[in-house]
Amino acid sequence: MTSRSIMLEYVARSAYWLMLLASVWILLRGHNAPGGGFIAGLMAVAATALLAIVYDVDSARRRLPLQPLQLAVAGVLLALISGIPGVWDDNAFLTHQWWGIEVGNNVFKLSTVIIFDVGVFAAVWGAFATYLFALLDTQGEVT
């Protein structure tokens, strides 16, 4: 970028983490309230886009957990893995399993559903980040 906006850069740094936090919250609440892996993934993409536009593609790429394409493929693999326990249980592929863990008076419900949804989240985030970076990378080099 030829021009910098100090204010925007300052805001973007904290906004990035806030947006990611929000996306994780949306991801986790998704089963019972509006939200879920797909929406959360788009939220994360928006956060990455903010960084990529305000700073540059490289600093946005550095803050991803993996390289974007790896992230996308890892998401697909995670979703694939989440379906396997169902097969062990002689059910169809992707039949989700639930386990309750009692801690004091509360029962924490764990299931393969959340693994699947995290997979969706990562696949969306990684794939759209790939598009985003590739598109934004074309800029700045035009002379």
Partner 1 sequence: MSHADARVGATNRDMLWLALIPSGLFIGLVWALSAIALPWQLQLDWVPSLGVGLDWYIDALSAQFLVLITGIGTMVFIYASGYMAHDANAGRFFLLLLLFMTAMVGVVSADHLLVLFLFWELTSLISFFLVGFKHTDEQARASARQALFITLGGGLALLAAFILLAQITGTWSLQAIVASGPELIEDPRLPAVLMLLFIGCFTKSAQFPFHFWLPNAMSAPTPASAYLHSATMVKLGIYLLARFDPAFNELLLWEVSLIGIGTITAVWAALLALRERDLKRILARSTVSALGTLVLLIGLPNEEAALAVIAFLFAHALYKAPLFFVAGNIDHATGTRSIDHLMGLRRQMPFTMVAAILASLSMAGLPLSFGYVAKDVVTTAKSGTDLLQIVSYGLLFVNSIAVAVAAVAAIRVFWGPANPAFARVREVSWRMLLPPLLIAIVGLEFELMPAFTDPLLVDAARVIAPAADIGDLSADHSIATFVTVAEVLVIGLVLFLFWEQLHRYLAGLARLDHYGCAALFERLLAGLTRVAAWHTKTLQHGNLSGYMRLTLVVLLLFGLGAWLAGDVDGSGLWASSWPAYEQGWALLAATVLISAGALAAPFVYGRLALLMVIGLVGYGSAVLFLFAGAPDVAFTQFMVETVLVVVAAAVLPHYGAPSRYPEPRLLNAAVAVAAGIATFILLAHMFSVPSDRSLAEWFATNSLPEAHGRNVVNVILVDFRALDTFGEIAVVAFSALAAWPLLRTMRKRRRTS
Distances (CA, A) of 81 to 98, 99, 104, 114, 134: 15, 17, 31, 12, 29
Burial (CB < 10 A; 0-12, 13-18, 19+), residue 105, is exposed
Shortest Å, Cβ 125 to partner 1: 10
Which C-beta is closer to partner 1: that of 10 or that of 29?
29
Shortest Å, Cβ 23 to partner 1: 10
Strand partners, 106: 103
Binding-site ranges for partner 1 (CB under 8 A): 30-39, 42-43, 45-46, 49-50, 53, 68-69, 72-73, 75-76, 79-80, 83, 93-94, 96, 98, 109, 111, 113, 116-117, 119-120, 123-124, 126-128, 130-132, 134-142
Shortest Å, Cβ 93 to partner 1: 7
Residue type at 79 in one-letter notation: A
